[in-house]
């Protein structure tokens, strides 16, 4: 009698083998964890500038007016603003309401990351990739922000998943799904092009896939061309701050964002290094384990064979591709997504804001997950292929590469566990430490409400104007060169402060209060009677070095 066949998943469900939880339980657990991290503290932090700018200046009751504002005051495609407009019509413009779509997009991205990992390198990579996306502080941060980035990540991840499936089996339906998701990504954020270009190039470069891929590439090219008039009309609104931020600092921020999140800089480089260490070690371990696999693939391709062998169906290979090729593919997408904007910045087209690279962190996470899957004992695929004749001694047969040693799997499990624990620790720390949170403009507005209302002027930094307008409505910017009659002047901002901070901004005013609200600073000045002060004088007399704004009550003259 022949050897007994290995147990299948169906056998296990029928009780023929050892019982285990179905694989979807792992994904369900990760989705619950992702939802807990994102939804439980959705309104913990106040709106900051970009978030508040949307309901204050972009969203209007009319969709036409909203889209007009997108053209004249934003620098992103219109899809997210359309969804935000619909969201505000149904749920309102509160913090939870406007952030909820981002939170749901962030949770959904975990499921998409699972699919990406599975397509690349099987179940282990699926679990690792989904876990990394579920707890990474950068993804958690943007899942709690009422801006475009969470949707950008989700649609870019969907495009990557559809690309992997279309590359493995180029059916009309899979190519159409890739074209649709890629087009939606382009309509969400312009930087999605840096992820879509290498995907299209991979498909077009493969003769077996090229014919099916060309229509999909044409659709996305048409969508990109259709966005050109909008790009020209927007003209890079509100991107001047990018050029004022040193390129070297922005380059340093890219890995810092992935390791400790958008707000993790105060944690310091030592914490970044501690989190980076297990990731680098895991990538190196995966590379060592994949090296013999890649060598065997090269030998197999270079050996003469009387017929083309059938592709491997090992689950770890992921959609008919070897783990080594999967790692190379993830590296290609991550590298192009990060390096292409850097090259353009060096050439003078400098729109390199580290947050614009957030979607490129999906293939980075996938690369880490593939390295983990390749390192776990027994997970590396057998890439040797039997000859068509079944003769094991035929010239065209490549011998199976050596599997990773058992200690590699144990080490990989420890390294991925350390990485996930570090990510969770940072994500939780953001909820506990105000220094890692968005500026507490809501708390500052609560203190400012105690003031004299319409008979006052508020000076603030540019990044504080929209939040204060949101939380202290109705406010408006004082007309340039206007003369104001006020009995109170409130100067707000954050460190570093000017040496003149605390001095009276105009004759007749005296300092009555100085407060710090989670790092935001307020100096309050009063006069015994209303006095006339020029807007230009108030603009010159600010407590911080950032660009100033002067706000007054909307009903004030």
CB atoms within 10 A of CB 383: 23
| pLDDT computed for residue 377 by the predictor | 55
* pLDDT, position 398: 43
Sequence length of the chain is: 557
pLDDT tens, position by position, 34-51: 999 999 999 999 999 999
Given a contact cutoff of 8 angstroms between Cβ atoms, the answer to whether 213 and 170 are in contact is yes
CB 524, CB 451: distance < 8 Å? yes
pLDDT of the residue at 293: 60
User: Hey, which residues does 485 pair with through a beta bridge?
Assistant: 532
pTM for the whole thing?
0.88
Q: Please, what's the b/e burial string for 514-549 (b: 16 or more CB within 10 A of its CB; e: otherwise)? A: eeebbebbbbbbbbeeeeebebeebbebbbbeeebb
Domain positions in the chain are 21-229+254-300+311-383+400-435, 441-553
Mean pLDDT computed over 17-33? 79
Closest CA to 381 of 477, 433, 312: 312
The phi, psi pair for 69, rounded to 5°, reads -65, -35
What pLDDT is stored for residue 2 in this prediction? 43
Percent of the chain residues topping a pLDDT of 90: 69
Position 296 confidence tier, pLDDT thresholds 50, 70, 90: low
pLDDT > 80? residue 26: yes
- pLDDT tens-digit profile of 370-404? 999 998 854 444 333 333 333 333 333 444 555 66
User: Does the structure show a pLDDT above 80 at 295?
Assistant: no
Question: pLDDT (tens digit, 9 = 90+) per residue, 231-258?
Answer: 999 987 777 778 788 899 999 999 999 9
pLDDT of residue 314: 41
Q: Where is 492: in which H helix or E strand?
A: strand 483-493
Encode pLDDT of 308-322 as tens digits: 344 443 443 333 347
pLDDT of residue 316: 39
Which residues neighbour 177 within 8 Å (Cβ) at sequence distance 6 or greater? 162, 165, 166
CA–CA gap between residue 114 and residue 125 (Å, rounded): 8
Which tens digit of pLDDT belongs to each residue from 115-166? 999 999 999 999 999 999 999 999 999 999 999 999 999 999 999 999 999 9
Q: What's the whole-number mean pLDDT along residues 14-31?
A: 71
Q: Is the pLDDT of residue 92 over 90?
A: yes
Query: How high is the pLDDT of residue 324?
Result: 84
Q: How many CA atoms lie within 13 A of 291 on its CB side?
A: 6
Query: CA 25 to CA 43: how far, in whole Å?
Result: 29
Q: Which residues have CB under 8 Å from 131's CB, separation 6+?
A: 30, 416, 420
User: Quick one: pLDDT at residue 555?
Assistant: 66
Beta bridge partners of 521: 493, 516
């Amino acid at each position: 009698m022949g050897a007994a066949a290995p147990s299948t998943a169906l056998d296990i469900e029928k009780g023929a083998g050892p019982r285990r939880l179905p694989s979807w339980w792992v994904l369900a657990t990760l989705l619950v964890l992702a939802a807990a991290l994102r939804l439980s503290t959705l309104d913990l932090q106040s709106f900051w500038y970009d978030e508040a700018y949307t309901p204050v200046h972009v969203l209007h009751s009319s969709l036409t007016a909203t889209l007009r504002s997108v053209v004249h005051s934003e620098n992103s495609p219109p899809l997210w603003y359309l969804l935000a407009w619909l969201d505000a019509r149904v749920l309102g413009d509160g913090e939870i309401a406007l952030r909820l779509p981002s939170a749901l997009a962030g949770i959904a991205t975990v499921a998409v990351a699972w699919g990406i990992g599975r397509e690349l390198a099987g179940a282990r990579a699926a679990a690792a990739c989904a876990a990394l996306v579920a707890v990474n502080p950068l993804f958690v941060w943007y899942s709690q922000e009422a801006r475009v980035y969470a949707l950008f990540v989700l649609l870019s991840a969907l495009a990557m998943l559809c690309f992997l499936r279309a590359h493995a089996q180029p059916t009309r339906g899979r190519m159409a799904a890739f074209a649709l998701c890629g087009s939606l990504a382009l309509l969400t954020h312009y930087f999605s092009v840096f992820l879509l270009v290498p995907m299209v190039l991979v498909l077009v470069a493969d003769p077996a896939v090229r014919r099916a891929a060309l229509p999909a590439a044409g659709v996305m090219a048409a969508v990109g061309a259709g966005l050109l008039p909008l790009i020209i009309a927007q003209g890079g609104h509100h991107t001047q701050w990018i050029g004022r931020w040193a390129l070297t600092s922005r380059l340093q921020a890219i890995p810092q964002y992935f390791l400790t999140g958008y707000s993790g800089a105060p944690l310091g480089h030592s914490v970044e290094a501690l989190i980076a260490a297990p990731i680098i070690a895991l990538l190196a371990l995966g590379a060592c384990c994949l090296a013999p696999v890649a060598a065997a693939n090269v030998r197999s391709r270079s050996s003469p064979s009387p017929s083309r062998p059938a592709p491997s169906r090992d689950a770890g290979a992921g959609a008919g591709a070897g783990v080594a090729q999967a790692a190379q593919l993830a590296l290609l997408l991550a590298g192009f997504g990060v390096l292409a904007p850097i090259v353009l910045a060096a050439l003078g087209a400098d729109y390199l804001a580290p947050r614009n690279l957030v979607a490129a962190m999906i293939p980075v996470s996938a690369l880490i997950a593939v390295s983990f899957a390749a390192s776990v004992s027994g997970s590396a695929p057998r890439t040797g292929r039997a000859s068509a004749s079944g003769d094991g001694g035929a010239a065209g047969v490549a011998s199976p590469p050596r599997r990773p040693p058992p200690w590699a799997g144990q080490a990989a499990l420890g390294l991925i566990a350390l990485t996930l624990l570090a990510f969770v620790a940072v994500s939780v720390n953001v909820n506990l430490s105000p220094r890692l949170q968005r500026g507490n403009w809501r708390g500052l507005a609560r203190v400012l409400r105690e003031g004299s209302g319409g008979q006052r002027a508020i000076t603030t930094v540019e990044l504080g104007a929209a939040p204060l307008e949101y939380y202290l409505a109705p406010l408006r910017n004082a007309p340039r060169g206007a003369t104001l009659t006020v009995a109170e002047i409130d100067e707000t901002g954050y460190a570093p402060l000017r040496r003149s901070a605390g001095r009276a901004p105009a004759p007749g005013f005296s300092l009555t209060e100085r407060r710090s609200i989670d790092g935001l600073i307020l100096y309050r000045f009063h006069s015994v009677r209303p006095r006339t002060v020029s807007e230009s004088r108030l603009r010159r007399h600010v407590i911080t070095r950032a660009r100033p704004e002067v706000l007054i009550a909307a009903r004030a003259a």
